[in-house]
Structure 1
Amino acid sequence: MSNPVAPVRDDPLFDLGWSAFFAEQLTSADEGLQPVRVAKIHRSRITAMSPTGSVEPVLPADIPISHFAVGDFVLVDPETLLVHRRLDRRSILQRRVTGTHVPQCAGANIDTLFIVTSCDADFNAARLERYLAVANQAGTEPVILLTKADLATDPDAFHRQAGALQRGLDVVIVNPKASEAALALAPWCARGQTVAVVGSSGVGKSTLVNTLVGSTAAAPQLTGAVREHDSKGRHTTTARSLHAIAGGGWVIDTPGIRSLQASDVADGLDRLFAEITERAPQCRFSDCTHAHEPQCAVQAGVIAGDIDPERLARWRKLKDENADNDRAETGWAGRSGGGRKKRR
């Protein structure tokens, strides 16, 4: 086939999420190759979606399976299906789970990250902030989805708390089992768009994925029960996979996790805690910790009521954790010691 040079709405590749970002990466050496999108990664092979349906690309012996992520676009020979190369990613969702040192790739080329939590004991502002920092760093647009609102005495209170976590953050109350959920999320699930769903086990992630995908012979994800005493559920999604949304777009489900480490998310934290990072340059010292230094603009914001002291404490914890993990990755064990503060 001839190489697509630009995405057009009547091009089948557009439905897969193809855009100018990927088309501009093609060169004369790619003439005749077929772009396909990775839908699932197995132990030693991948399944991908082409404009004509599911295919099984053949991996070269010198390319490890870890080189690929669900959502990647790869170029294959249309006759042999041999993979020639993976295209650069427009966004990459990575997370570090507690107890590990290597970030796990949860998906690539994602437009919107649906962060699912429920209006019960699962709702945790600190954990949601971790997800938001990861989403910001990944280059995806985060949206918080609140489930189990029908069981809450005051669901609007959860909505207000979630909305206050980041400027301009969209928060949507949904019932994952109801068909209306697909309608409520339609603005982010348009044709050619890709969303990923993350959150703790038992909050309705897999149910939501099944609802978005629509009626099929077999549900794309299993669902499980939730323990009543702590609102936590068993892990029902064990692998990441890409599914077509009934009304258009694609959805990636991910295994539920309850702990998430901050790593390589400095820019994501800056956006998340904008009320802090915007005031920091006004502090007397350039390396102000915003804890006890004189003429600290951030502490002045706390006193004025413009900055929530609990938010400041969580910012400090995430910033320190991120710095520690970054140092661990580079093998540097040094710490920022005491010493004289630097005036601006």
Structure 2
Amino acid sequence: MPKRAETTYSRGVNMKSPSSTLLQLGWKPFFSNQLSAEEDGRYRPVRVMSVHRGMVTVQGEGLEESLSSSLPVSKGAEDRPTVGDWLLVDRESRNLVRILDRTSLFKRPAPGDDRRLQLIAANVDTLFVVTSCNRDFNVARIERYLVVAREVGVRPVLVLTKADLTTDPRSFLETARALQPGLQVELINGREPESVARLAAYCGVGDTVALVGSSGVGKSTLVNTMRGSDSIATQAVREDDGKGLHTTTVREMHRLGFGPEGGGWLVDTPGMRELQMSEVTAGVAEVFEDIVAITLQCRFTNCTHADEPGCAIKGAVAQGTLEPARLDRWRKLAFEDGLNTSVAESRRARPKKVAKKK
């Protein structure tokens, strides 16, 4: 828990010309444009560094402490503070006033209750999709992360770790780059600062990156190296299946120190073994844009790419220009997205049960 900083309030600060502190925290014109002249004088913008039960740890100009996460008005499932959010705080009472609109939001159905949303991180600029050069390297899983990143509108960067533990790291690099045209891929050794420094280009002042990947791929080791500390616990990978144990239990932002001017922020999330594909149609279309382009050449607009004549997909497979394995992954993700989206819409439409008074 960060130490409480001495709080000094100055009225009438123009957020159109933010202080260096706010700029370092990631303040952008997108956020300042949301403030009215009255709000600019009455309220103070702060950013959520971590979320705990009923509390948020925030930082802003002259303010660094934990506050109640309750808001005066809740308009929906997404109207709850999450890591990376920008909030307005009353200068006198320090109560939270509202959440500023987000540039991006990672979310998923809450475990055990698909009608509830679990907010993961907000206002992220870049998503580090971390996977290791061993048995964890799984093309289908990587594509799931890419779909989510594209749907949210965040730039994905594939980070290949444990390059020092394989005799042929180039093969992993080539396979990763072939997943999508223009996909940025970095091959690193998470324990070596010189190697991890390749990620500095994505972590400039005010930049926010999030980090996702299955357990055991070296996320905590990578975060420790990027921070220049060993404060995050790490655990060894099991030898029988190459998988690791969850070591991150709290979503929080870590300050990075790349470059002479200091770095941006990294949101570390608990390892997610599975990502449920729901309402990510645009993301699927972008990750598999090559297949979508081929479908537009089919004779019939409602072609199922099974037995119809003039099917361009079947023709591409026959000609060897489309890999059957990639086609199968596209079919699976598109079907899963459609099914889960339909279920989610049905459950949201279902009336909530009202507890009977005894």
State the TM-score, normalizing by the size of structure 2.
0.86
Counterpart Cα distance in 1 of 2:17 and 2:213: 32
Residues 6 and 23 of structure 1 are in contact (CA less than 8 Å); yes or no, is this contact kept in structure 2? yes
User: 1:300: Cα distance to partner?
Assistant: 2.0
Counterpart Cα distance in 2 of 1:306 and 1:7: 53
1:180 aligns with 2:180: no
Residues 188 and 196 of structure 2 are in contact (CA less than 8 Å); yes or no, is this contact kept in structure 1? no
Residues 44 and 91 of structure 2 are in contact (CA less than 8 Å); yes or no, is this contact kept in structure 1? yes
Aligned to 2:66: 56
Ranges in structure 1 where 5+ consecutive residues have no aligned partner: 333-344
Superposed counterparts of 1:237-316, under 5 Å: 237-247=248-258, 248-316=263-331
Distance 1:207 1:53, change over 3 A: farther
Counterpart Cα distance in 2 of 1:253 and 1:37: 16
Counterpart Cα distance in 2 of 1:244 and 1:110: 14
Residues 54 and 68 of structure 2 are in contact (CA less than 8 Å); yes or no, is this contact kept in structure 1? no
Superposed counterparts of 1:103-252, under 5 Å: 103-215=117-229, 219=231, 221-247=232-258, 248-252=263-267
Counterpart Cα distance in 2 of 1:158 and 1:23: 43
User: 1:304: Cα distance to partner?
Assistant: 2.5
Counterpart Cα distance in 2 of 1:288 and 1:100: 35
Residues 47 and 54 of structure 1 are in contact (CA less than 8 Å); yes or no, is this contact kept in structure 2? yes
Worse-matched range after superposition: 286-295 or 128-137 = 286-295
Distance 1:278 1:330, change over 3 A: same
User: 1:17: Cα distance to partner?
Assistant: 0.7
Q: 2:35 aligns with which of 22, 26, 37?
A: 26
User: 1:52: Cα distance to partner?
Assistant: 3.5
Aligned to 2:87: 74
User: 1:97: Cα distance to partner?
Assistant: 7.6
Distance 1:309 1:255, change over 3 A: same
Ranges in structure 2 where 5+ consecutive residues have no aligned partner: 1-10, 348-358
Q: Secondary structure at the match of 1:30?
A: helix
Residues 71 and 96 of structure 2 are in contact (CA less than 8 Å); yes or no, is this contact kept in structure 1? no
CA-based RMSD of the aligned residues comes to 2.2
Deviations along 1:167-209, one digit per CA (max 9) or x if unpaired, are 2101111111111244110110011100001001111101111
User: 1:11: Cα distance to partner?
Assistant: 2.7
User: 1:100: Cα distance to partner?
Assistant: 5.5
Distance 1:93 1:7, change over 3 A: farther
Counterpart Cα distance in 1 of 2:131 and 2:265: 21
User: 1:53: Cα distance to partner?
Assistant: 5.3
Aligned to 1:83: 96
Residues 161 and 190 of structure 2 are in contact (CA less than 8 Å); yes or no, is this contact kept in structure 1? yes
Counterpart Cα distance in 1 of 2:151 and 2:328: 21
User: 1:2: Cα distance to partner?
Assistant: 2.8
Counterpart Cα distance in 1 of 2:323 and 2:14: 51
Counterpart Cα distance in 2 of 1:60 and 1:73: 14
Letter in 2 for 1:25: Q
Counterpart Cα distance in 1 of 2:83 and 2:293: 36
Counterpart Cα distance in 1 of 2:256 and 2:63: 15
